Amino acid sequence: CATRKKLDKFEFFERSLSKYLSTSALHSALLHSDVAIRVAGFSILTERRQKVTCSEIDLMRQVLPYALKSDSPGYAVEVVESINSFLKRMLSHGGLQEKVREFLLFLLNDVCLQQLSYPGTVLEKEIIFFPLFDLLFEFTVSKLRKPSKISDDEDLSRATTRQLIVKSLVSDAVFLTFLSLIHSMWDNTRTDAYKLLRKLIHYAVKENIHLPGVVQHEKSRESLWNRGYYLAGSPRERESDTGAIMLSILYISSPLEDRHRFMERLVEAVDQRVGDMEESLLFIIGKRESTDFIDGRSLPLAHGLLQSLRMCIDEAKTIFPVGEFSINAITGLCRRSLEISLSVVSDVDKGELDEDNPEETADHKVSAPLNVNTGALGANGAFATINAKDEEEEIQRSSMQRVVMGCWLLTKESCAALAAVICFSSNPPLPTLTISRIGHLLVSSIISLKHQGGIFAAHRALQKISIACQTEFAHEPTLSGLPLAWSNELLEQISSPDFVRDSILRRSSGYALGLLATMRSETSNGIPSTICPMVLSKLLRLSLPPASIVEAKLKRLGLSSFQFTFSREFPELSYVVDEDYQWKSRVHALNILRFAILDAPLAKELRWYISDCIISAFIGYDDASWAVRNSSTMVYSSTMLRVIDADKNAARGASKTAITAQEL
């Protein structure tokens, strides 16, 4: 095979290879235990220049059910590519439309549906079945269209083949297979199955092809709704994910005129479930009476339904008209869900609300009665390591676990749904004040949550909204300035003596992720940066000791006239005065700088401040506080990592943001 690739321009070698490498020899190679020999056999069979023979097609049909068996992902990619090349070779010579039709049906029915999909292993599904099915779909809808040079008879035959294969692709058997795959316990299997099913439905709607009865008949759709609604309320994330996917499939398979009604039904279902969850939580903590016995084990969970609502909004934005459902109503529902979840799992001190602002107090009215803060982060660990003394204690632990995990998952989905609603279109769907308050709520989530997964969900939502404010909504000055306002809010939390406190997560992760979300919003829009220089300058100022110590250290080093980059950029930023110095603020600033230095999207912005970071780290090495010394060490190591790696790139001339030693 390697020799052939070097000599393929010589026709005599091609003829000799075809003459002496018999079909039986290829058969042995394609079934060989060594995958490299199998790959070589496929390469020779699929890249021949001669017209495909019936014996070669029969050979492929014989060996594929066995040759696909392997535990090598690389081999699976090679096989799928070989099948693609073989199909192109079959089409290139013409006159084989019946054979092409039979071979495509064989790949779909025998290989994909009967062998790889349901009975197959997880590896077969994820690295062979999904790519092969996608190949069949793309080949059918694109390669079987009439090319520029083809006879009318050949075109008619191709059209017949295409019509038959499309009918087989958009069939009950295929849809039921994918509906079974979205019940998989493996995340990638569910995700890939949903993506391909979406692609099939979108194509069928675009081409006015009737969808199969499993997603069209009224009784079948009602059964799917009931199944999805039930699974969406499961505390197991894989089951709630399946339920959300099923409800989303029902939405995108609905006729255009019915999507508005489906969305209204879904919003009503989410609202009802969120209300039930709130009522149950109020009863569990003794804030409200109920005639029915309720404990945490029967707590209604809303995260799965909220996920399905977010998926439907994404579909409405990208593919289909969304209808006239109320954006304000959905936004209010998402905010309410987030506030309910935060009241249980966030570290919110009582009295943090602005009592002078009646609207803010009204927005957060749920927080006060539900602020029980059950110590969510250690809940699972406590349950796993300590045996319950009696049945009552076991019930209490199960109840707490469902409450805590249900609220964590609701936090994650509420953040994602809020971002989806705000970024729904290129025009702001909500008033500036509402978007500002949502950003404030996300900032509060980032700095008060105890779970890193929840913080990352709020971080992604805040970053998505910030990017929209800097791009799609940039024509609105009041909106484009919101990321800067949120940045100042976060900086106030770490610099003001009235607010600064220990970080809930180690290394000040919450504050860092919040500021990264706003700073990243202007790294790719091509406009002059305003947020990054401001934030980095203020962080560098806070990372230094008080003014008297800084000046003394610089004088001792013979650098009395030295001026930091941040003080040149912002002359109004002087060193922190001795009376206002807070060691916690300094540690927060150092930790956030470390995050920013290691963040690839901010590399271009950081290059001008690397030297300031190194000097700040040096000054912190002999500080009296161990926390300051430790964080200074982390900043220095991150700057060296960035500079050394960038210097290597600069030596190769491959990086535009590289920093050479001379520049440093």
Global confidence as pTM: 0.82
pLDDT confidence bin for 170, thresholds 50/70/90:
very high
Q: What is the mean pLDDT of residues 408-415?
A: 94
pLDDT value of residue 40 = 84
Is 178 in contact with 197 (CB distance < 8 Å)?
Answer: yes
Condensed to tens digits (0 to 9), the pLDDT of residues 69-126 reads 877 778 888 888 999 988 888 887 766 778 888 999 999 999 998 888 766 677 777 8
Condensed to tens digits (0 to 9), the pLDDT of residues 295-328 reads 677 889 999 999 999 999 988 865 544 444 578 8
pLDDT value of residue 348 = 55
Is 111 in contact with 132 (CB distance < 8 Å)?
Answer: yes
> Does the structure show a pLDDT above 80 at 266?
yes
pLDDT value of residue 360 = 41
pLDDT value of residue 71 = 73
Which residue, among 413, 411, 466, has the nearest Cα to 435 in the 3D structure?
A: 466
Which residue, among 440, 428, 512, 515, has the nearest Cα to 470 in the 3D structure?
A: 428
Between CA 515 and CA 531 the distance in angstroms is: 9
Of 175 and 65, the one with more pLDDT: 175
pLDDT value of residue 448 = 86
pLDDT value of residue 238 = 93
pLDDT value of residue 320 = 47
Condensed to tens digits (0 to 9), the pLDDT of residues 352-409 reads 433 334 344 444 333 333 333 444 444 444 444 456 566 777 777 788 888 888 899 9
pLDDT value of residue 375 = 43
> Does the structure show a pLDDT above 70 at 19?
no
* Partners of 346 in beta bridges: 449
pLDDT confidence bin for 135, thresholds 50/70/90:
very high
Is 470 in contact with 521 (CB distance < 8 Å)?
Answer: yes
> Does the structure show a pLDDT above 60 at 598?
yes
Mapping DSSP to helix (H, G, I), strand (E, B) and coil, where does residue 571 land?
Answer: coil
- Residue found under tokens 């791009």: 471
* Partners of 449 in beta bridges: 346
Between CA 11 and CA 140 the distance in angstroms is: 32
Between CA 435 and CA 418 the distance in angstroms is: 10
Is 196 in contact with 203 (CB distance < 8 Å)?
Answer: no
Is 271 in contact with 379 (CB distance < 8 Å)?
Answer: no
